[in-house]
Amino acid sequence: MLSSGTAAIHLALRQLGVGEGDVVFCSSLTFVASANPILYQGARPVFIDAEPATWNMSPAALARAMRDAGERGELPKAVIVVNLYGQNARMDALMEICRGYGVPVIEDAAESLGSEYQGRKSGTFGDFGVFSFNGNKIITTSGGGALVSNDTEALDRARFLATQAREPALHYEHSEVGYNYRMSNIVAGAGRGQLEVLDERVEQRRAVFERYYEALSGLAGVAFMPELEGSKSNRWLTALTVDPEQAGVSHLDIIGALGAENIEARPVWKPMHMQPLFEGVEYYSHEEGWSVSDELFRCGLCLPSGSSMTEGELDRVIGVVEEMLR
């Protein structure tokens, strides 16, 4: 248990030996916390586009990126696959590609705790899995995260680094750089208590999504984030796209109308390859000339999705959106 999901990604990269000048592939359509730890290690990110079926890392784009990297003799030291808004990436295809090149996978399941893919829990496919218990997550310890793996030696090593890399000596002995990445016992207790109601929280979020879907999916230009067959999303956030040509309004118009009613909504994540921080970084689109991440950012938004939303609150949000779209 750690202080954040970001800390978990950072420690996973350290366990995989990522260092100065190394290459790490990472989903582009994500929050910056997925990519920042690459920079902590002095490594170089390469961003991979999403696919339409999951909004997550495109196997087609990853395969092209791996092929090109192999031909250059510069395979990545790791691939960070993000499960966006509770939806699992196509992990079987992505893992097959990475295994074929001998590249380890860090599965960023910060947004997908409790989700399932082909009968397995999200976060259990990669060499390392990462969870977040930040204040906005499906269960929260206010701030916190976790790193999981079947490699118990690597986890022991991560725990050592997370506690300031203190050597087992009577005095305070340190021979390498460590971090204050520990989760406090009080916070951990709060998290353990909430884990007991995780399944209930997932069903509550899915019910929120279904209410929005029933009310809005038939409106012109509206398309909801899909759920891949054989998977179960926790629907951490209800995300949808609005085609302005069909709907007559843009996603920003809807966000503005909701804001005028003191209802917070936001665009989907701005892709990492579009961020000023990563200007000039190499990027592989889903197909040549077709960037799915760019399209989703141009027309995607997230509606209020809290587990405790009442029918009245949902009706209020739906009413504003319906008025804009009708």
- Give the amino acid at 317: V
Main-chain phi, psi angles of 8, to 5 degrees = -65, -45
Annotated catalytic residue 77: no
For the record, the structure tokens of 244 come out as: 């302005």
Q: Please tell me the chain's helix, strand, coil percentages from 3-state DSSP, rounded to the nearest 5.
A: 40, 20, 40
**Is there a contact between 85 and 110 (Cβ–Cβ < 8 Å)?**
no
Cβ neighbours of residue 61 under 8 Å, at least 6 residues apart? 48, 49, 51, 284, 285, 286, 287
**Is there a contact between 110 and 5 (Cβ–Cβ < 8 Å)?**
yes
Catalytic residue among 77, 121, 137, 270: 137
Residue 147, SS3?
strand
Alpha-carbon span 29 to 65, nearest angstrom = 16
- Give the amino acid at 248: G
The H or E element that residue 223 is part of is: strand 222-224
Catalytic residues: 137
